[in-house]
Structure 1
Amino acid sequence: MGSGMAGTPTTQRGRITQRDIARRAGVSQTTVSLVLTNNSEAAARIAPATRERVLQVIRETAYVADPLARSLLGRRNQILGIFTYEPVFPAGSADFYHPFLVGIEACAESLGCDLLLFTSAPVTHGTRRIFHENNRLRLADGCVLLGREIPREELTRLVREGHAIVSVGRRDDIDTDGTTPARVPFVGADYAGATSELARRAVALGHRRIAYVGSGEGVESAVDRLDGLRAVAPEVWHERDADREPAELLAELLAAGVTAAFCEQPASAVALSEAALARGLRVPEDLSLVGLGEDDGPGTLSLPLTRLRIPRREMGWQAVEVLTELLHGTGDDLQRLLPCPLVPGRTLAPRRD
């Protein structure tokens, strides 16, 4: 057997890491780290069978923990911060952000950490700013960042000044010193992969001219969705829907010969469906609709929307995991993209001439 198998020396691969231990034991790196601390309250929460499985792999591989990383574990407040660039509790956004917060809370509880929600940040030009004169970031060991869009200058400063942060949502690398791009720790959704898979299904059903309805630019999540569609669809008609009347937008799509519309926001699919009905058209017979997010907004379709599902709870959970590994110096997987399950729905049908 190869050197990577349990019970076999790993000298041919070099020094074994906690990631290797986690993979062999079938647990997260955070769990391995907590087992190694041995005297922490959080470690006591791990199931005995799980602890023994981790210890068995450690014994088999003769793993020796990094003493520096071990020493850092005892120097934390066990407080993790949450900073939201958008309000998360008003009715309009509560449904969308709630699963993220549930995942964050559940993982923090499992680790024995308290959560601190930063709410004193001022709003500048419609966006909260994490840096201000009453900044309390240092009260927390590290911070999870929530928000569709994070100002580039703030993200750059956070990374440049060495703050322990993890973004919920993919973020592009940033230039902090003019030479080497710095990687931003994140847990994001694989929008590009899921959109490409939905596009493959549409193409297989005969759709050739497909519209992308939404911004498709600016924030990484929008760019990823449009890129995923363009990677598969033979011809993409891009229509921005901000401040557009649904009837006008529908008319332009039909004039362009579009037979399937991929909507960045499911609310746009609802609006197009209502406009189609008012025009005497049917969904999906006359126009197929696909949603590229959650359907938590106002309005509903008469048929279940074919869409992707954002793994929001898991993203929140793993964001805390990555932050903990970052703080402990044990993580080598600080940028994660989670797959988006597809919801079949009934709004994507074969193209009709």
Structure 2
Amino acid sequence: MALQKSQRVTQRTIAELAGVSQATVSLVLNGKADSSTRIPESTRQRVLEVIRETTYVADPAARSLAGIGNNLVGIFTYEHAFPNESSDFYTPLLMGIESAAEGIGVDLLMFTSAPVVAGRRQIFHEKNRLRLADGCLLLGREMDTAELVRLVDSEYPFVAIGRRDGAEGRIPFVGVDYIAATATLATKALEAGHRDFYYLHLPFDAESTRDRKLGLSSVLDGAGVTLESAASDGTDLPSVWAAIVATSPTVLFIEDPSHAQVICDLAIASGIDIPNQLSVVVLGERTRPSEHAPEYTRLSAPRPELGSRAVALLDQLMNGSRGAEELPRQQLLDCVIIDGDTLAAPRSGGAL
């Protein structure tokens, strides 16, 4: 049988070219052509050779319906992963995912058909194709807890990147221990002599935002220090800076690194010396810092490791531990504390 250049290659085509039944082709494709099926090795090799020559690719939807894995790992993002601001966080994370996926021999499939509505995608949208993948990694600052509960109840393998509440502790995740890292930085500021703190955080109820605030407030509450704070999405930073000046802090904690740069620029434009007049501690970092940005005192999340660990956990959920030590279903990774140059003892004579 001669294969036409435009002809779609099916299992029937493979069977005709190899001179075997379609059932035999199916057994070979699904890895069931062993001694128990009594298919000669020469026949199996002939089928595989035809598959290679025709570059046949199995229909992933059909394989999923048949309960057969596709060696595909999905990536679902609740918000766009590639605008400038979010890609600054996601790029090293995706690098870790890609490297780990290559290591276990799976392809990555990014789900993008669900539209972003009110800032977030919905997994269970009418265009949902989640089950084309054998399992899925979920990315996003805020996730829909009801959707996560539904996924857990469906027993579909998934791993959320970032600590997640809800579902009575049943949500598998790999996250960052922002509580401990923020508490360490708060302790450093106290030990430097600071007592006038201000915290600028994002206006979200995400676990990562809550964890940073908890780490900071727990240390300050224990020291009897009052914390002034404000929330900003970044559109009102000049007015936020005016409010900061009015409270006269000696140290400023900022959740978002891009906000930190704007605030520091405003401070310098106002004639304020960082850190001699105002210390700045950043609870994150940019992948591509500005050329004129100072070396911030900050925490650094292990984003490539976060991605690779999430793939390893998902692989375990999909395929078992394969005799290796079983990984915890919920993992928190430590941050690295960068001492930087923006935390100093408060100047004598008081705050701003």
TM-score class, shorter-chain normalisation, is 0.7 to 0.9
Residue of structure 2 in register with 1:346 after alignment: 341
Letter of the 1:303 partner, please give it.
Answer: P
Letter of the 1:122 partner, please give it.
Answer: P
Alpha carbons 1:216, 1:223 under 8 Å: kept: no
Q: Map of 1:106-145 to 2, 5 A cutoff?
A: 106-145=99-138
Report how far residue 254 of structure 1 moved: 3.2
Report how far residue 162 of structure 1 moved: 1.8
> Which residue of 217, 222, 240 corresponds with 1:230?
217
From the superposition, tell whether residues 93 and 250 of structure 1 become closer, same or farther in structure 2 (CA, over 3 Å).
closer
Report how far residue 94 of structure 1 moved: 2.7
Aligned partner of residue 333 in structure 1, secondary structure = coil
With the length of structure 2 as denominator, give the TM-score of the two structures: 0.73
Cα distance in 1 between the residues matched to 2:95 and 2:235: 35
Residue of structure 1 in register with 2:299 after alignment: 308
Residue of structure 2 in register with 1:249 after alignment: 240
Report how far residue 299 of structure 1 moved: 5.0
Q: Which moved more, 1:101-110 or 1:323-332?
A: 323-332
Letter of the 2:257 partner, please give it.
Answer: P
From the superposition, tell whether residues 313 and 216 of structure 1 become closer, same or farther in structure 2 (CA, over 3 Å).
same
From the superposition, tell whether residues 280 and 105 of structure 1 become closer, same or farther in structure 2 (CA, over 3 Å).
same
Tell me how large the CA RMSD over aligned residues is.
Answer: 2.1
Aligned partner of residue 342 in structure 1, secondary structure = strand
Alpha carbons 2:203, 2:233 under 8 Å: kept: no
Alpha carbons 1:188, 1:315 under 8 Å: kept: yes
Letter of the 1:304 partner, please give it.
Answer: E
Alpha carbons 1:166, 1:319 under 8 Å: kept: yes
Alpha carbons 2:175, 2:331 under 8 Å: kept: yes
Cα distance in 1 between the residues matched to 2:188 and 2:329: 32
Q: Which moved more, 1:331-340 or 1:82-91?
A: 82-91
Deviations 1:11-47 (A, max 9, x none): xxxxxxxxxxxxxxxxxxxxxxxxxxxxxxxxxxxxx
Deviations 1:75-122 (A, max 9, x none): 533221111112223344333211111111111111111211112112
Cα distance in 2 between the residues matched to 1:132 and 1:105: 26
Q: Give the greater-gyration-radius structure (CA).
A: 2
Alpha carbons 1:169, 1:188 under 8 Å: kept: yes
Structure 1 residues not aligned, in runs of 5+ = 1-73, 175-180
From the superposition, tell whether residues 131 and 221 of structure 1 become closer, same or farther in structure 2 (CA, over 3 Å).
same
Cα distance in 2 between the residues matched to 1:134 and 1:275: 45
Report how far residue 217 of structure 1 moved: 4.9
Residue of structure 1 in register with 2:280 after alignment: 289
Residue of structure 2 in register with 1:272 after alignment: 263
Aligned partner of residue 219 in structure 2, secondary structure = coil
With the length of structure 1 as denominator, give the TM-score of the two structures: 0.72
Alpha carbons 1:270, 1:300 under 8 Å: kept: no
> Which residue of 180, 184, 192 corresponds with 2:179?
192
Q: How many residues align?
A: 274
Q: Which moved more, 1:246-255 or 1:97-106?
A: 246-255
> Which residue of 189, 192, 198 corresponds with 1:205?
192
